[in-house]
Amino acid sequence: MGPDCLYGLYTSWCLLHHINPSADITFRAAMHRRGIDRPNCGRRMMGPAATDYILASYPATA
């Protein structure tokens, strides 16, 4: 999962928990401080936030 997907997952998690997400640059800085800013951080999406992110990211097919 790249940095854009990681931020999208984070914003979905925030939405589900009624939390205002931090700005993208703030989120990336926090991930960098924790060593999770690589293009492919080796994380996997799972759970309700992943479902929300995936469904919001891909347009419905007709």
Residue 62 has pLDDT above 50, yes or no: no
Residues 3-32 have pLDDT tens digits of: 777 888 888 889 888 999 999 999 989 888
> Considering the entire predicted model, what is its pTM?
0.70
- Residue 38 clears pLDDT 70, i.e. is over it: no
Q: For a pLDDT cut of 70, what percent of the chain falls above it?
A: 79
Tell me which amino acid residue 5 is. C
Could you tell me what percent of the chain has a pLDDT over 90? 15
| Per-chain mean pLDDT for the chain | 80
Structure tokens at 9: 């997952």
Q: How far apart are CA 38 and CA 59, in angstroms?
A: 27
